Structure 1
Amino acid sequence: MTAPQEVHRASAGRPPRDDGESARLLADAARAIDAPGLVIALSHQGRRTFQLGEGLRPGDAPHYELGSASKPFTGLLLAALVARGRLRYEDSAAELLAPGHPVHPGVRAITLRHLITHTSGLRSLPIDFYPQALPRWSTAPYSRYPAERVVRAFLRARPRHRPGTRWHYSNFAVSVLGHTLAAATGTPWETLLRREVLDPLGLHGTRLLPGPPDGPDGDAVGHRRDGTPLPPLDIGGFNAAGAVRATPSDLLTFLEAHLPAAAAPSRPLAAALAEVRRPLLRRGLGHAHTHTLTWFRHPSASGPVCFHAGATLGQQMFLGFRPDTGTAVAAMCGRRVHRADPFITTVHALLTEKL
């Protein structure tokens, strides 16, 4: 692991601190995690600090698979379309996706808001997903479940509970949302996300399809627990739930856009960014945790933390920010972590440090 590298981006009226505390915290975190391909990127009040793997620089670090950390991009896309008056959160997904198609009454009641907030009543994955995925579970479980199959599964579904009454995390639901937004706008999801979110925020190091392995513009290589390299993720028809790939610098740019200091009304997507920060529902033991349109929002001793984690077969991702302190953290590594692994707890703790 190389020494931390710092990039200065001063906030208006507030110069960045130069006490080395951020660099020390990131170096300590990297030693605690000790994972291949580890990158930790921190932004605090306009100052960026990167802890990078051997041979990497902030400008040419590879594209990492975000897995479920793609969902905040899809949530922001929905918020942007609503802010522009193209759609409403209360629109029926089934009616937008297949007008007039016969569906279960519970499916007809599922709205766009239900899909993105995991309150649709849908399963985590379609009921017929597992038989076809099991033979390829450790290599490409999604690859033979294309978009049209996701849509068919939704139109045939029977929600497990009434939409809007319970929270249950669902890759199926967010994937359906992506196909619904594409159908409602007559635009492929990849084109829609690029036009409405990635380009306005200047995220030119973010893409939705695999690139070449390694190299300045390549993809990070994921690994099994034993170090065996894995092929790039093929997400099949679940694009909106897990297809995004991005560089560490782009991920910090995405997170910095969510910080209030960057949310002037004239900024791109200002209304949508404000909307996705707003708490919407309570969940967890004792309803102690809140959820925004797309972010987990947990309390801490030093203020609320908004975050989303993600994992693919061989990579791990964490995105988080603290609106009250102007702090954002993006961390990624080329290994799927397991229950006892310190990756998530270590990088989450960076958001509650006093910098």
Structure 2
Amino acid sequence: MINVVLAVSRHGRRVVHHGGTGPRPPVPRPDLRYEIGSASKTFTGLLLARLVERGVLSGGEPAARCLDPGRRAGPDPVTLAHLVTHTAGLPALPADFYPRALPAWRTAPYGRYPAERVVAAFLRHRPRHRPGTRWHYSNFGVAVLGHALSTLTGTPWEELLRAQVLRPLGLHGTAPRPGGPAADAVGHGKDGRTPTPPFDAGGFDAAGAVRATPHDLLTFLEAHLDPDGSPLAGALRAVRTPVLRRGPGRRHVHTMAWFRHPTDAGPMYFHSGATLGQQAFLGFRPDTGTALAALCTRRFRARDPFIATAYGLLAQSGP
């Protein structure tokens, strides 16, 4: 079974398409809350930008010192900015993640790796490359960033996200935990039939724990399209600003929160994500005033058609 929601905003006008291959859920599909996996990093990037804008921190703080105040910073410390831009020299996951996760690989692999292990793995890790010199996508790094922000502010990441991002933007159907007033969508494995349990992010909340309704995701994306008037205006503008370029022709551009690719008319910003049984694509194009949130309750196999289709829809959207 699979449920699919395509939520589109064009110049503030919303259209939501939805359907599925199984029985209709008891709650309408557009009202369910979906796991967005790694697209959660766009929320964490905005949170960091918000804290920088408010002068709570600069982004240049050594992450190890944030987590262990007694530690001396070396000549090339990993900073918060390195963590959010995937330039910290960290692997995708800690070296000992897989042995711990394997017994629960199909149910809760991240749940077997709690916050204290994430922090301990980072504090003992020695980067292979000088921070800031190479890009390597890292769930590990963004998870560490979440713990560093929590330690610096004395506020759990979940509460920090609610206070600094969710409530100011009016995202009442968004949360890092299952349950609450909104009903959660049920995911399915690669066979399209086997239900998967709610995603447990373990110590990786900042990298993949967010759940949101389609309309909340459109509200989030619309704020990026038109930051003026938003209580997070400065931070929203900051996360649209390129911070590094890489790849052939330097085509791959990154901000604090988004991948940015060129189109014929202007740049598009996007991020995708997946959990054990759900997938998501979030993106927006300032040149056409278009925002797209694509969600489904099945984890596809390799050569994923869902994410590629959503990317193509946004890339080809006209004025």
Correspondence for 2:48 among 78, 90, 109 = 78
Deviation at 1:91, TM superposition (A): 1.2
Once the two structures are overlaid, the 10-residue window that deviates more, 226-235 or 188-197, is 226-235
Secondary structure of 2:6's partner?
A: strand
**Which residue number corresponds to residue 169 of structure 1?**
137
Given the alignment of the two structures, is residue 254 of structure 1 paired with residue 228 of structure 2, yes or no?
Answer: no
**Which residue number corresponds to residue 53 of structure 1?**
19
Task: Map 1:125-140; keep pairs closer than 5 Å.
Answer: 125-140=93-108
Q: Distance in 1 between matches of 2:264 and 2:100?
A: 45
**Which residue number corresponds to residue 184 of structure 2?**
219
Deviation at 1:90, TM superposition (A): 1.1
Deviation at 1:166, TM superposition (A): 0.4
**Which residue number corresponds to residue 256 of structure 2?**
293
The answer (yes or no) to whether the contact 1:66–1:312 under 8 Å persists in 2 is yes
Task: Map 1:197-216; keep pairs closer than 5 Å.
Answer: 197-211=165-179
**Which residue number corresponds to residue 234 of structure 1?**
200
Paired-residue identity, %: 63
Once the two structures are overlaid, the 10-residue window that deviates more, 281-290 or 232-241, is 281-290
Secondary structure of 1:53's partner?
A: strand
Deviation at 1:144, TM superposition (A): 1.5
- Structure 1 gap segments, 5+ residues each: 1-34
The answer (yes or no) to whether the contact 2:171–2:216 under 8 Å persists in 1 is yes
- Structure 2 gap segments, 5+ residues each: none
Deviation at 1:339, TM superposition (A): 2.7
For 1:208, the aligned partner's letter is P
Correspondence for 1:268 among 231, 238, 247 = 231
Correspondence for 2:68 among 98, 101, 105 = 98
Given the alignment of the two structures, is residue 37 of structure 1 paired with residue 3 of structure 2, yes or no?
Answer: yes
Correspondence for 2:210 among 240, 244, 255 = 244
Task: Map 1:334-349; keep pairs closer than 5 Å.
Answer: 334-349=297-312
Once the two structures are superposed, residues 243-281 of structure 1 have per-residue CA deviations (whole angstroms, 9 ceiling, x without a partner) of 00000000000000001xx222x4210000000001111
Give the number of equivalent residue pairs: 313
Once the two structures are superposed, residues 113-147 of structure 1 have per-residue CA deviations (whole angstroms, 9 ceiling, x without a partner) of 10000000011111111111112112111111111
Runs (4+) of structure 1 exceeding 3 A deviation are 54-60
Q: Distance in 1 between matches of 2:148 and 2:195?
A: 35
Given the alignment of the two structures, is residue 112 of structure 1 paired with residue 80 of structure 2, yes or no?
Answer: yes
User: Given the two structures, how large is their TM-score scaled by the length of structure 2?
Assistant: 0.94
Q: Distance in 2 between matches of 1:340 and 1:237?
A: 28
For 2:61, the aligned partner's letter is D
Correspondence for 2:148 among 172, 176, 180 = 180
Secondary structure of 2:270's partner?
A: strand
Query: Whose RCO is larger (CA < 8 A, sep 6+)?
Result: 2
Correspondence for 1:350 among 298, 313, 317 = 313
Deviation at 1:97, TM superposition (A): 1.5
User: Given the two structures, how large is their TM-score scaled by the length of structure 1?
Assistant: 0.84
For 2:278, the aligned partner's letter is Q
- Pick the structure with greater CA Rg: 1
Once the two structures are superposed, residues 313-335 of structure 1 have per-residue CA deviations (whole angstroms, 9 ceiling, x without a partner) of 11000000001111100000001
**Which residue number corresponds to residue 269 of structure 2?**
306
For 2:244, the aligned partner's letter is L
The answer (yes or no) to whether the contact 2:169–2:230 under 8 Å persists in 1 is no
The answer (yes or no) to whether the contact 1:317–1:332 under 8 Å persists in 2 is yes
Once the two structures are superposed, residues 43-99 of structure 1 have per-residue CA deviations (whole angstroms, 9 ceiling, x without a partner) of 001110000126578795211111100000000000000000000011111111111
The answer (yes or no) to whether the contact 1:60–1:217 under 8 Å persists in 2 is no
Secondary structure of 1:161's partner?
A: coil
The answer (yes or no) to whether the contact 1:59–1:249 under 8 Å persists in 2 is no
The answer (yes or no) to whether the contact 1:118–1:168 under 8 Å persists in 2 is yes
